[in-house]
Amino acid sequence: MKHSDLSLRKDLLIKFLLAAVLPVLVFGLGVAFYYNSNLVESIQGSVYKRATRIKFEVIKFLDDSLRAMNMTRDLILTGDHSNLPTEQVLNSAVANADIFEALYLVNDKGRIVDIGLPESRRQLRQSLLGIDFPLGGIFRGVVSQTEEFFWSDTYVSLLTGEPSIFATIPVGRQKLVGSISLDKIGDYVFRNLEDDFGEVGVVDRHGTLVAHTDRRLARQRVNLNFHPEVVLALKERRDVTRHFDKKNRDFFGISFIPETGWAAYSSRNYSLAMKPVRGVRHSLIAIIVFSVLLAGFAAMGLAQRVLRPLTSLTSYVRKVADGEFNIEPLNTRYGEVNTLTGEFHKMCHALLDREGALRQSEERYRGLINSIDGIVWEFDIEHFRFTFVSPAAESILGFPVDEWYQEGFWQEHIHPDDRETAMAYCIDQTDQGLDHQFDYRMIGKDGRVVWIHDLVSVQSDQGKPTGLSGVMIDVTEEMAIRSELDESQQRFALAKRLTGTGLWDYDFRTRRLYWSSEHYTVFGADPDSFDGTLENALRRILPEDRARVDAEMEEGAKGGHMISSDFRVAGDDGQIRWVHTVGNVIYDDSGEPVRMIGLVQDVSEKKAIEQSLIESEEKYRSLIDTMAEGLMLLDLNGVIIECNPSAISILELNSRDRMIGKNLWREPPEFFRTNMQAIPAEEWPDLSSFYQGTSIEGLVLGVRNFAGKLVWLRINAEMFATDLTETGTALLVTFADISDFVLAEQSLRNTIETFSALVTAAPLAIMTTNPLGQITAWNDAAEEQFDQERSDILGQSYPDLGLYMEGSSSEEFNWQHGTDILRGHELLQRKKDGSYANIRLYRAPLFDEKKVFLGLVGIIEDVTESKTIQQQLEINEERFRLLFEEFQALLNGIPDAIMLLSTDRRLIWANEVANRMLLDTCEQNPEQCSCEQFCVSREKDCEKCPVSMSLKSIRLEEALIEGPGEKMLGVKAFPLTNEFGTANRVIVIASDVTEKTLLREEAERAGRLASLGELSAGIAHEINNPTGLLLMNLPLLRDALNDAMPILEDYSKEHGDFFFGGIRFSRMSSQVLSIMDESFNSARRIRGIVEDLKRFARSNDQDDLERVEINQAVKQSIKLVTVKINKSTNRFACNFAEHIPPVMANSLRIEQVLINLLVNATQALTDKSKGIEVKTLFDESDGQVKVVVKDEGCGIKPEDLKRISDPFYTTKRSRGGTGLGLSVSSRIVRELNGRLDFESTLGEGTKVTFSLPAMEMRNNNE
């Protein structure tokens, strides 16, 4: 809050409240702090006392247990039980002591020889006798012991599988072992414990719960190593009397138990323990609230009394502020107030004088503003509206000045696309108190868009913006010019990008070459490989084109003309590209070349198309040269520009040169119609009509060729696009020699006249007319066809024959119209009964020897019946076509290969599946395909070939053969026989049974795996027992040696070096502990290998995962195979990356995979000069921790690489390989969500990459 905003009344009220409340508040907080401290001290003491009490309860329980076991031992040793077997003594001790869940008598070899059990579990006696009891593992690192009595930490009971502890005492050469469940300890220790005090527990020396008020936690063997005070008490073997856990807000006390190395602890929740102080806190709050209320009422009364004289003064000042400058001063009883109002009166008179001067100044200011070519404005930030706008506003945007003063006018008339950006920018700059300028669009009153450049000045008061002023300038024309310039630049950039065109600029003086970014794509160049010189660019041109390009550039630079060149360049990626460049040289005033500027474009695709067009042109030219029809190309003037050999032959010119260049329109040959009438040149079609879509099709003309011989031609002509003419088009004319046909037609016409008498008796309707259209002949068939008597129709003109166009019964056909020949014209005839008949009309004109028209002759054939038959045939044909397509689709949809073979096994037909399976030779020469080539390109029959057998037996034959691509095919052959029972075709169906064969082999392999699983399960117990003893006893031996080493060292210093285990102590002292570690790790590896064999045949159970440092695992693996590595190579290198994140995995499993890879690498080396490299790395791109094992060995064949991780697949079986190594490794890696990648080159070596997800990446995925 600012000082000016704080009222006097509030100030007095706050100070009174502070004076009344502060003492009470200080006193109350002091009392609460004192009471709270004493209570905390008391609670911490009671928590520690409770832990001590639990400690003594534990000691008492242990003493009771020791006493019971001593009594049992005495009974066994003194012979008081001579009439009782040991079993009964042990059973009685278990039943009477009510402490033990079982008592074991173990011999010196660690085997259970006798056992005492409660009555409910005595049926398990036989199953437990004779098994190995792992005493070494149970009492490894015992903390507290007497001469005869030993206590263990928590352990899993052999009897119940529940958490327990074990105690042992010697019985002669045997040991008596007592098993006590954690529940029994908890019942005893907490039997007198109150329920509401808090949490109580007992932990062993490793921090694992032995007893707890919550029995579930003890059964789960929860470990408290996360609690630093528990770890401190166990490590330093001392009590922790007072501790407060801030995280869980608990009081904590710990009492150490020296007899066992355990610790008893007690805790109590802070909230529950501090209940008594809550009442005091509530009372103190009530007192403070009462004091605040009392002080508030007093302060308000005093403030009101003090403020009365100031109220009158405030009213007076408010009137002055409202502009009442002529009021008289106040007259109160307070002199200070009267003096102050008198001074205000004088100030009012001075303000009146200054107001007049300001009006004059304002008039001058407004005149100046009105003269500015822009909108001068002032803006009120608080109300967000203009307070002043110059008259230019109306001329620029069209809105009257009064409308500008409306609230929100500015933002409402900003263009919608600019509103948010413009307002945000202006507000941001104003909040920072910065003058600014910006461009935006506004909408005028008439709807037009006006660009505004706004210059803004910010007025501030004590750093806070209070108002804005500025000038708006109309920049619409400038923005339009700028927009056009931007669009032009964008179009130029877009054109370069779309066409792939680059810009280059060479400076002759500096010999520097600039080229745009598109050049790197056109030239296939790496930007880092270009140094900006012309030599660097020209060096990329192929040597075959370099000399020509240099000459063209030199000529262009000297001659001053445009440079244009095509050449080939070699890109950095090795690809050859065709490049087209154009350029122009710029000269200075003296005529010397200064710069050369040009464009470059990749025309590789264009060159490829041109080459393709050349090849296509050669192919089609060969086709045209061999066609029987003549072909000519004519330009717009009728000049022959191209022709084929057939055209030369038909027109009987001696050579092509004599024909090319002839103008058929200026030197036309003699043309004749079919009636042998010559065609005048003026009746020839105009060439321009062809450009409007006119074409000639099937025109028959007689032409007198250049040898003077009359040749009859059928001519087709149309426009054709070509680059052989300047206009890009030409007239394509094709013609065929039909002289023999025309002569035969003329002979036939003469024959018709000769046999006219026969027409009358013809079975078809025949009629003739004279030039006037009167019927002159009408045979009997015509009478029957048209149902009219000959006497009634002869001599009649234009008879109504009832003929209509086919498909329309309303368009009547005029028989007499035209003199053209109709051959098989389809018509409809309407008969007298109203029915219709299908007829086919043949009509021709008759001429005499002088070619005078004599009339028409027509033959009418009733084709109604044949038409019906034809339609039915078409329907049947369509039906059979659909059936054939469906049958073809059905055969193509069958997944088996189907073929039809001849008796010599040649392919006649095949479906799509068979076609895909054919070899390349068959695809190139299908008629040469045979059964042998379909299979595996054999040159002779397959053994037991089903095709050959079916041709001999004339029945179905089947066989399993090897097909293309190493596929196994099940082949069936069906012979097709003729009417004599002899096979003339064979249908072959081939099914791909590769997958079925592989599945059968996989089933056999699974059987072997099952046998391996049964075998591994049988030997697992025999291997695991001694391995378990090694794993339990080796750490004990190591601890013993570790404790003995100081004594041995002192002995060595006193008596000198000595032999220890056949090795001098000075050497053994540095290696014995390492040997013990290696032995322990090897025992772990034996157990891991057995478990892998069991898992290989079992379900995919994952081991317990742990945090594994990959570098440590690699080093351990290398250490275990160091001897084999040294025997195999003289060049072994390791590179360990730093700061590699850990992986969540099983260290034994990782070491097993790495050892397998290292052993394979050593076995692949051919001599010791070949090397092996191992390195670790972290790939941040995919979050993978990787180990790379690379050797320089013999490599792996590609066909073997595909099956390298298959079970039992090995290329080293002759050297004892089983094919399980990489199979087991691959399975381990998959279970750990990792990956094994193999890269190998035959004769060069193999690289294996072992990848596992980093711990952070694995957690994210999960």
The more confident residue out of 544 and 967 is 544
905 and 879, same structural domain? no
CA–CA dist 900, 916 (Å, integer): 15
Tokens encoding 566: 């095509």
Least confident piece of the model among 398-402, 438-442, 476-480, 1139-1143: 476-480
780 and 648, same structural domain? no
* Residues 418 and 425 sit within 8 Å (Cβ to Cβ): no
Point out which residues pair with 797 in neighbouring strands.
Answer: 774
Say which residue the tokens 């069958």 belong to: 894
Asked if the structure places residue 454 within a domain, the reply is yes
In this predicted structure, what is the pLDDT of residue 158?
A: 75
In this predicted structure, what is the pLDDT of residue 760?
A: 65
Side chain identity at residue 1185, one-letter code: V
The CA–CA distances, whole Å, from 1225 to 1005, 1151, 1159 equal 18, 10, 13
CA–CA dist 224, 572 (Å, integer): 66
In this predicted structure, what is the pLDDT of residue 1134?
A: 92
CA–CA dist 9, 891 (Å, integer): 105
The CA–CA distances, whole Å, from 770 to 795, 815, 856, 857 equal 10, 13, 7, 9
439 and 566, same structural domain? no
Query: Which of 742, 763, 794 delimits the end of a domain?
Result: 742
Exposed / middle / buried, residue 1071 (Cβ in 10 Å: 0-12, 13-18, 19+): exposed
Pairing state between β 1171-1179 and 1131-1135: parallel
pLDDT tens-digit readout, 171-212: 888 888 888 888 888 888 777 776 556 788 888 888 888 888
pLDDT tens-digit readout, 860-919: 888 888 878 888 888 888 888 888 788 888 878 888 888 888 888 788 888 888 877 765
Give phi and psi for 746, each to the nearest 5: -65, -40
Helix (H) or strand (E) holding 1190: strand 1184-1191
pLDDT reading at 664 higher than 50: yes
Count CB-CB contacts under 10 A for residue 31: 14
* Residues 152 and 210 sit within 8 Å (Cβ to Cβ): no
The CA–CA distances, whole Å, from 1190 to 200, 660, 1184 equal 58, 75, 18
Asked if the structure places residue 1127 within a domain, the reply is yes
521 and 404, same structural domain? no
811 and 791, same structural domain? yes
Find the Cα–Cα–Cα–Cα dihedral 957, 958, 959, 960, rounded to 10°: 160
* Residues 577 and 602 sit within 8 Å (Cβ to Cβ): yes
Query: Which of 992, 1021, 1036 delimits the end of a domain?
Result: 992
pLDDT band at 1099 (very low <50, low <70, confident <90, very high): very low
CA–CA dist 1089, 1083 (Å, integer): 10
909 and 881, same structural domain? no
* Residues 151 and 145 sit within 8 Å (Cβ to Cβ): yes
In 3D space, the residue among 268, 160, 157, 159 whose CA is nearest the CA of residue 213 turns out to be 268
Asked if the structure places residue 197 within a domain, the reply is yes
In this predicted structure, what is the pLDDT of residue 1181?
A: 87
In this predicted structure, what is the pLDDT of residue 1188?
A: 94
Distance of CA 632 to the CA centre of its chain: 60
Asked if the structure places residue 1153 within a domain, the reply is yes
Point out which residues pair with 595 in neighbouring strands.
Answer: 507, 586
Q: Identify each DSSP E strand in 529-592 by its residue range.
A: 563-570, 576-587
In this predicted structure, what is the pLDDT of residue 958?
A: 85
Asked if the structure places residue 357 within a domain, the reply is no
> The domain spanning residue 49 has which CATH number?
3.30.450.20
pLDDT tens-digit readout, 1062-1098: 677 777 777 777 777 788 888 877 776 666 555 544 4
* Residues 702 and 647 sit within 8 Å (Cβ to Cβ): no
Asked if the structure places residue 720 within a domain, the reply is yes
The conformation of residue 413, written as its DSSP 8-state character, comes to T
In 3D space, the residue among 1160, 1158, 1184, 1159 whose CA is nearest the CA of residue 1173 turns out to be 1158
Buried b vs exposed e over 1175-1191: b needs ≥16 C-beta within 10 Å? Answer: ebbeeeeebbbbbbbbb
* Cα 826–Cα 827–Cα 829 angle in degrees, nearest 5: 145
Say which residue the tokens 């209940």 belong to: 275
Side chain identity at residue 436, one-letter code: H
pLDDT tens-digit readout, 754-796: 666 666 667 788 888 888 778 877 787 877 777 777 777 777 6
Q: Identify each DSSP E strand in 796-949 by its residue range.
A: 803-805, 822-830, 836-847, 853-862, 897-901, 907-910
All residues at 6 or more sequence positions from 1255 whose CB lies less than 8 Å from its CB, including other chains: 1107, 1141, 1142, 1143, 1144
In this predicted structure, what is the pLDDT of residue 1136?
A: 92
Q: Identify each DSSP E strand in 7-109 by its residue range.
A: 102-106
Point out which residues pair with 113 in neighbouring strands.
Answer: none
Separation of first and last alpha carbons in the chain: 53
In this predicted structure, what is the pLDDT of residue 1084?
A: 78
Asked if the structure places residue 42 within a domain, the reply is yes
127 and 77, same structural domain? yes
pLDDT tens-digit readout, 539-580: 888 888 888 888 888 787 777 667 888 888 888 888 888 988
Point out which residues pair with 731 in neighbouring strands.
Answer: 634, 719
In this predicted structure, what is the pLDDT of residue 767?
A: 80
841 and 773, same structural domain? yes
888 and 898, same structural domain? no
pLDDT band at 80 (very low <50, low <70, confident <90, very high): very low
CA–CA dist 1071, 1059 (Å, integer): 14
For the segment 9-34, the average pLDDT, to the nearest whole number, is 67
CA–CA dist 1088, 164 (Å, integer): 27
556 and 415, same structural domain? no
CA–CA dist 1177, 1191 (Å, integer): 18
The more confident residue out of 839 and 302 is 839
pLDDT band at 1219 (very low <50, low <70, confident <90, very high): low
* Residues 167 and 177 sit within 8 Å (Cβ to Cβ): yes
Count CB-CB contacts under 10 A for residue 523: 23
857 and 873, same structural domain? no
Range of the domain at 821: 755-862
pLDDT reading at 1173 higher than 90: yes
pLDDT reading at 1247 higher than 90: yes
Asked if the structure places residue 338 within a domain, the reply is no
pLDDT band at 1251 (very low <50, low <70, confident <90, very high): very high
For the segment 295-300, the average pLDDT, to the nearest whole number, is 64
Instruction: For the chain, give the mean pLDDT.
Output: 77
Query: Which of 845, 876, 892 delimits the end of a domain?
Result: 892
904 and 855, same structural domain? no
pLDDT reading at 936 higher than 50: no
Pairing state between β 112-116 and 102-106: antiparallel
Work out how many domains the chain is built from and give that number: 8
Pairing state between β 102-106 and 670-672: unpaired
> The domain spanning residue 1260 has which CATH number?
3.30.565.10
